[in-house]
Amino acid sequence: MPTSIYSHDAPLARGETSRISTLPAVRRIGLSDLHDALRRGWEDFKAVPSHAIVLCAIYPVLGLMLARLVLGYSVLPLLFPLAAGFALLGPFAALGLYELSRRRELGESPAAWQAASVLRSPSFGSMLMLGALLLTLFVVWVAAAQAIYVSTFGYEPAADIPGFASRVLTTPEGWRLIAVGCGVGFLFALAALCLSVVSFPMMLDRHAGVADAMLTSMRVIAKNPLTMAAWGLIVAVLLVLGSIPFFLGLAVVVPLLGHATWHLYRKALEPNPFPQSEALPPQREPRSAADFPAALFPWQHKGH
C-alpha cells in the first residue's frame, strides 16, 4: 500500500493535528542537496542572466545610494546593519526568480515578462503579508542596531571613515559593539530563515496560505537543523562577498540564491500531488475588419 505524502513530524497538540495533516511531508536533506541546489541555481542564472540581473537591480542601486549617504558620515554606523538587513528581505525580493526556475523546471524557456506573472498568483496576497513581516523585521533590526551603537558610543557622530574604523576595531567598546551586534543580528537572521526558507516557493507552487507556509518552513528547519544552519551560513557568506565591491556583486549572488532556494524547496518537501494550474487569460477568436459592426454585439453570436 503506498505511503501518504502527508505525515506528522512530531507529537502535536490536539488543535494542531488537523492543520499539520494537510501540510506536505518534509524530507531529510544533507549537504549534498545544498550543493546540488546551488548548482541548479547557477544553471538557471546562466540560462536567464539578464532577466535575473534586471529583477535584482534594486540591490546594487540601494548599495550605491547607501555609499552616497555615507559620504556625509551621518549613517556610517548603520552601513553594516543596513547591508546585512538585505538578507531579511531577499526571500521576498526573489519572487520573480522562483517563477523563472519553476518555468524552466517545466521545460519552458522563460522570458523576462513571465517573471511578473507571479503577481497573478492566487496566493500573492499571502506573499505580500509575509513580505510585510520581513520588512518589519528589517526595520526593527536597524532600530536595534542603532540602539546598540548609541548605548556603546553615545550620540556623537562618526568623524570620518578611518576614525570610525579605528574606533570600532581597536577599542574594547568597539569589540563589544561587534559581539553584541553580531549576536542580535544572528537572532534576526535566524527568525527570517525559520519563517521564509521555503515559504515563498511553497506559496507560489501550492498556493498555500501564509500560516501554512511559515509552519512548513519551521518544520523544515526542525527536521534538518544542521543542514539549514549550513544553508544560512552559505547565504551569509555569499551576501558578504557580494557586498564587498560596492554591493554590485549582489546582482549575481542574489539571483543565484533565489534560484537555488527554489530547488532547495523542491528537495525539502515531497512533490505536490495536486499541482496548481496557472490561470491564463481566455483566448480570443480571430476577427476581421468586416466583422466590425457585429463585434460590438457579441451576444448575438452566442445566440446563433
Residue-wise pLDDT for 133-164, tens only, equals 999 999 899 889 889 988 888 877 666 677 77
Residue 43 inside a domain? The answer is yes
Max mean pLDDT among 16-20, 21-25, 51-55, 242-246 falls in 21-25
In the structure, what pLDDT confidence band is assigned to residue 62 with cuts at 50, 70 and 90? Answer: low
> How far, in Å, CA of 148 to CA of 150, rounded?
6
Residue 296 inside a domain? The answer is no
Q: Is the pLDDT of residue 250 over 60?
A: yes
pLDDT digits (tens, 9 = 90+) for 195-248: 999 999 999 999 989 999 999 999 999 999 999 999 999 998 888 887 776 667
Residue 67 inside a domain? The answer is yes
Beta bridge partners of 26: 269
Sign of CA dihedral 251, 252, 256, 259: positive
Residue 83 inside a domain? The answer is yes
Residue 291 inside a domain? The answer is no
Total domains in the chain come to 1
Its pTM stands at 0.75
Residue 66 inside a domain? The answer is yes
Q: Is the pLDDT of residue 273 over 70?
A: no
158 contacts 152 by C-beta, under 8 angstroms: no
Residue 298 inside a domain? The answer is no
> How far, in Å, CA of 54 to CA of 45, rounded?
12
> How far, in Å, CA of 178 to CA of 152, rounded?
10
Q: 221: domain range?
A: 32-111+119-270
Residue 17 inside a domain? The answer is no
Higher pLDDT, 194 or 294: 194
What number is the average pLDDT over the span 52-64?
58
